[in-house]
Amino acid sequence: MPAEAFDEVDWDAIRLTLTGKPKMYNQWYSKQCSGWCGTGKNLKHWKRTDDARCPNCNTLEEDAGHLMVCRSQDRSRLLEEHVVAIDEWMKSHFTEPLLQQLVTQYFRGRGTRKFRKLDGHSYKTASLAEAQDKIGWRHFTEGKIALRFRVIQRYFLQHSDTRLTVDSWLKGFVSKLLAMTHAQWIFRCITKHHRTKGTIVLKATEDLLQEVERQLSMG
């Protein structure tokens, strides 16, 4: 992460989210954020494989940054399912409407669109967009959201008919972001580890998606 972006991140929201998560979940998160997870590039570097390709799209030298930009059809389908689920969660949890609209656009851009280039901005989201673009897409999918999210969402909740606090909203939102990213990692690992001579043993995508959901429910 660029040094100038560090102070733009709502680190309290991440701490709030990770507190109480299982130890193994926190280990996965630290490995993903540091880039020292078991990607093809790292496994090749550690001399544990000769094949550094992404197991889903065959991109060469697969690294941690590839996780949330993989264009595999199955991975794209899984991502879209999470985008729809997060959009529904935002709608049912008193999310400021413009924030909801922008976040959903940002998801579907998958790192190809700057936050400030999304449609529908107003004066109140300009500084958020600038900060989030400093932080970047990959870090966003790892729960590193701009502090301005807190400011805008707190104001909206205070003027809505709800007792939901901004901390509760942030914990829920960041949890959803991490679940989306974790699901991509689980799917990637299942397909990587169930190959026999290049053929995936778990043939049905539905079986894979069900296994992802099972593992996500375990934390």
Q: Give pLDDT tens digits for 155-211.
A: 999 999 999 999 999 999 999 999 999 999 999 988 887 653 443 444 555 565 565
What pLDDT does 205 receive? 53
DSSP structure class, residue 60: S
Report the pLDDT averaged over residues 135-156. 98
Number of structural domains (the chain) is 1
pTM of the model: 0.89
Nearest-CA neighbor of 173 among 108, 68, 82? Answer: 82
Which residues form the domain of 107? 3-29+36-217
3-state SS, residue 37: coil
Tokens of 50: 């000769």
Does the pLDDT at position 147 exceed 60? yes
Model confidence at 135: pLDDT above 80: yes
- Of 210 and 22, more confident: 22
Q: What is the pLDDT of residues 101-126, one digit of tens each?
A: 999 999 999 999 999 999 999 999 99
- Is residue 179 within 8 Å of residue 82, measured between CB atoms? yes
pLDDT digits (tens, 9 = 90+) for 39-89: 999 999 999 889 999 999 999 999 999 999 999 999 999 999 999 999 999
For the segment 147-158, the average pLDDT, to the nearest whole number, is 98
When computed from its CA atoms, the radius of gyration of the chain, rounded to whole angstroms, is 18
Which tokens is 81 given?
């399912």
